[in-house]
Amino acid sequence: AAGAVRVAMPGAVRVAVRSLCLAALLGALEAGGTELTLELPDSAHRCFHQELESGIKFTLDYQVISGGHYDVDCYVEDPNGKTIYQETKKQYDSFSHHTEVKGVYTFCFSNEFSTFSHKIVYFDFQVGDEPPILPDMNNRVTALTQMESACVTIHEMLNAVIDSQTHYRLREAQDRSRAEELNGRVSYWSVGETFILFMVSIGQVMLLKSFFTEKRPSSIGAGT
């Protein structure tokens, strides 16, 4: 019987851990959020609107992936038209706020200060706090069990992995954009150098040819 218990316990533990972790992941998906990558033309701005209840927390993270000096203007307005956040020529930033009034909140990205460079901007708009991953976790008076602590740790590590993946995805996209831009500049410079060398070579050939060309006397001089 003891041997049977020792064999059966690991499977039961795995099933329990899987169930708790699945509940944790499903609970994490309930938090509202939007991720979007947009193209911002030169001398243009784009705005987004979200209706929120009062007392709700929202977070706006953004980063310029490509274009110009990788900077953009950003501002956020409440339903009364009051500016609660404003930054100019930022490459990336994060802003969190608890709403005081109910209504439509507006956040905008502006590239009006640039007259020739397009920008690609990534932003992540999260609404509300993440719900507890375990039932009645905030109201518990007893310590978490070992399985519950393991689920909390796994959940936090998964969040850290997601944040890291997003960060490295943006860095990879930004580096790829810079590499493509540098490759284009090198290609144009190489074409320009090839054209200049071709023209110089023709000029040198024409100049050397003029040195060895025999100048015949004119007919008047020969008759005299």
Give the domain CATH number at 62.
Answer: 2.60.120.380
Residues 44 and 126 in one domain: yes
Residues 125 and 89 in one domain: yes
Residue where one domain finishes, among candidates 101, 131, 161 = 131
Quick check: is 49 in a domain? yes
Residues 201 and 153 in one domain: yes
Range of the domain at 181: 142-211
pTM of the model: 0.60
Residue where one domain finishes, among candidates 85, 105, 131 = 131
Residues 117 and 167 in one domain: no
Quick check: is 166 in a domain? yes
**Number of folded domains that form the chain:** 2
Residues 106 and 43 in one domain: yes
Residues in the chain, pLDDT under 50: 1-31, 224
Quick check: is 16 in a domain? no
Residue where one domain finishes, among candidates 110, 131, 152 = 131
Nearest to 63 by CA among 140, 191, 218, 168: 168
Residues 113 and 151 in one domain: no
Contact between 62 and 122 (Cβ < 8 Å): yes
The C-alpha atoms of residue 48 and residue 91 are separated, in whole angstroms, by: 19
Quick check: is 1 in a domain? no
pLDDT of residue 214: 65
Contact between 104 and 45 (Cβ < 8 Å): no
Quick check: is 164 in a domain? yes
Residues 43 and 122 in one domain: yes
Residues 148 and 114 in one domain: no
Residues 116 and 157 in one domain: no
Residues 40 and 127 in one domain: yes
Residues 125 and 172 in one domain: no
Quick check: is 110 in a domain? yes
Which tokens hold the place of 108?
A: 């905008």
Residues 162 and 104 in one domain: no
Quick check: is 15 in a domain? no
Quick check: is 66 in a domain? yes
Nearest to 100 by CA among 47, 57, 49: 57
pLDDT of residue 86: 94
pLDDT of residue 13: 36
